[in-house]
Amino acid sequence: MAASRPARQADTDITGEATNFAKDQLKAIVERIERLEEEKKAIADDIKDVFAEAKANGFDVKALKEILKLRKQDRDERQEHEAIVELYMVALGMIQGE
3-state DSSP helix/strand/coil % of the chain, to nearest 5:
85, 0, 15
Read off the pLDDT of residues 86-95 as tens digits, 9 standing for 90 and up: 999 999 999 9
- What confidence score (pLDDT) does residue 15 get? 76
Same domain, 32 and 42: yes
Same domain, 6 and 51: yes
Show the domain range for 4: 1-59
Read off the pLDDT of residues 36-90 as tens digits, 9 standing for 90 and up: 999 999 999 999 999 999 999 999 999 999 999 999 999 999 999 999 999 999 9
**pTM of the entire structure?**
0.64
Same domain, 90 and 50: no
Same domain, 48 and 11: yes
Read off the pLDDT of residues 8-41 as tens digits, 9 standing for 90 and up: 666 667 777 889 999 999 999 999 999 999 999 9
Cα separation values, 83 from 28, 73, 86, 94, Å: 49, 14, 5, 14
